[in-house]
Structure 1
Amino acid sequence: MKTFDIQRMAFDKVPPDFLWEVATRSFYTFILVFLFLKLTGRRGVRQMSLFEVLIILTLGSAAGDVAFYDDVPMIPVLVVFITLAVLYRLVIWLMTHSERMENFFEGKPVVVVEEGELAWDKLNAENLTEFEFFMEMRGCGVEHLGQVRLAILETNGQISVYYYPDDGVRPGLPILPEYCNERFRVVPEDGHYACIRCSEVVILRAGTKESCPRCANHVWVKASIAKRVT
C-alpha cells in the first residue's frame, strides 16, 4: 500500500460522486434528529440526565453511520429512531408513575455540603474530586465553604447552592486554588483552621501539630470568614 496516497486518503474506495449521497444522507439524519428532539421535548444539553445522554449518543451513532457509510441502508436507521423515541416515552411514563424507576434511571440528588462542611465521602462516591467540585463552586461565586449552608449535586450534574446570610457566615475552608492559600503542618498562630481534606474547622493554638478529628489529616489552612460579594 502506498503511503500518503491522496486518492486513498480522500475517497478510499468510493467514487467522488458519492459525496452528493453523503450530503443527502446527512440532511436525512439531520431531519430525523431534529424531529426526535422536537417530539421528546428536549431541554438544554447541560440539563441532560444520564439516561438522556445515553439516548443522544445512540442517536448520534446511528446518524453518523448512515451519513457517510455507503453500505448502511437508510430505512433501518429510521426504525432505530422510532424505537428510541418509543423507548424514551415509555421510560418517561414509568418514571412519572414509579419513584423507584425514577431513581433507577435518573439517580438521586446528593447533599455535598451541609452547614459549611464538605461531605467528602459522598463526593467521592459520585466520582467527583474535590478539585472539580471546588471549581464548580467558584463558578457560583463561593470563596469558602463557610458561606454555604447547603449544596446539592443534582442528577444532571449541576450544583444547587444555598447560602448563609452575611451575618451567618462562619469560618470555612477556602476553595481558591492551592497557591492562593498557605498550608501548614505546624500552626503558626492561634485561630480557626480548616482541614484541607474534609473541611473540618477547629480552633488551634500556635505551634501545635495536630491531626484532624474527622479524617486524621495533618495539613491545615487558615479558615476564611470573608463575606460573599454579589
Structure 2
Amino acid sequence: MQAFDLHRMALDKVPVDFLGEVALRSLYTFVLVFLFLKITGRRGVRQMSLFEVLIILTLGSAAGDVAFYDDVPMLPVLVVFITLAGLYRLVMWAMAHSEKLEDLLEGKPVVIVEDGQLAWEKLRAENMTEFEFFMELRLNSIEHLGQVRLAIMETNGQVSLYYFDDEETKPGLSILPGKLLERFTTVPEENDYACTCCSAIDHLQAGERKLCPRCGHPEWSKACRAKRIT
C-alpha cells in the first residue's frame, strides 16, 4: 500500500459513480429520520431524555452505515427504523401507565437548591459538579444562592429556577468564579458567612475559626446580599 495515495484516500475501492449512490442513500436515510421524528411526535428536539438519546444514536448508526458503505443493503435499514418507531411508541405508552418504568428510563427531577441552601450530595449523585451547576445559575443572572427559592434538575438536564422576591432574598453563598470569591479559614470581621462547600450560612465573629456544622468544611466566604437583576 502506498502512503498518501490520493485515490485510495478519496475513494478507496469504490468507483467514482458510487458517489451518486451515496447521495441517494443519504437522501433515503434523511427521509427515514424525518419520518421517524414525525411519527413519534418528537417533543424533545430541543432537549432529549436519556431514552430518546439512545434511540437517536441507534438511528444515527443505522443511517450512517447505509449512507456510506456499499455492502449495506437499504431495505434492512428501513426495518430497523420501523422497529425503533414501534419500540418508541410502545415504551411511551408503557411509561404513561407505569411510574416505575418512567423513573427507570427518564429519571426523576431532583431538587438541588431549596430556600437558598445547596443540596450538594444530590448534585454529586447527578454526576454534576458545583462549578457546572453554578455556571447554569450565572447564565440565569443569579449572583448568589440566597436569591434562589427552588432549583430543580429536570430529567433532560435543564435547571428550573424559582426566585425569592427582592424583599425576601436571603444572605447566600456567592456563585461567582473562584478568583472573585474570597475564602477564609479565619474570618476577618463579624458578619454572616457562607460555607464554600455546602452553602450553609452562619454568623461568625472576627478572628473566629470554625468548621461548618452542616458538612465540616473549614472555609467560609462573606455571605452575599445582592438583589437579583431582572
Shared fold (TM-score greater than 0.5)? yes
Q: Distance in 1 between matches of 2:179 and 2:228?
A: 21
Maintained 8 Å contact 1:192/1:222 = yes
Matched with 1:180 is 180
Matched with 1:14 is 14
TM-score when normalising by structure 1: 0.98
Matched with 2:136 is 136
Letter in 1 for 2:181: N
Maintained 8 Å contact 1:46/1:156 = no
Structure 1 segments unaligned to the other structure (5+ residues): none
Deviates more, 1:23-32 or 1:179-188: 179-188
Structure 2 segments unaligned to the other structure (5+ residues): none
Q: Which portions of structure 1, spanning 4 or more consecutive aligned residues, are displaced by more than 4 angstroms? A: none
CA offset at residue 209 of structure 1?
1.5
Deviates more, 1:125-134 or 1:35-44: 35-44
Q: Distance in 2 between matches of 1:14 and 1:221?
A: 65
Matched with 2:197 is 197
Matched with 1:59 is 59
Matched with 1:161 is 161
TM-score when normalising by structure 2: 0.98
Maintained 8 Å contact 1:193/1:221 = yes
Q: Distance in 2 between matches of 1:7 and 1:210?
A: 71
CA offset at residue 210 of structure 1?
1.2
Secondary structure of 2:224 counterpart: coil
Matched with 1:71 is 71
Letter in 2 for 1:162: Y
Secondary structure of 2:3 counterpart: coil
Secondary structure of 1:161 counterpart: strand
Secondary structure of 1:20 counterpart: helix
Closer, same or farther in 2 for the Cα pair 1:75/1:5, shift >3 Å? same
Q: Distance in 2 between matches of 1:223 and 1:110?
A: 25
Matched with 1:102 is 102
CA offset at residue 44 of structure 1?
4.2
Q: Distance in 1 between matches of 2:178 and 2:68?
A: 48
Q: How many residues align?
A: 230
Secondary structure of 2:8 counterpart: helix
* 1:36-80 C-alpha deviation (Å, 9 max, x unpaired): 001111134342111011111110110011001111110000000
RMSD after superposition: 0.9
Letter in 2 for 1:95: M
CA offset at residue 192 of structure 1?
0.8
Matched-pair identity in %: 70
Letter in 1 for 2:141: G
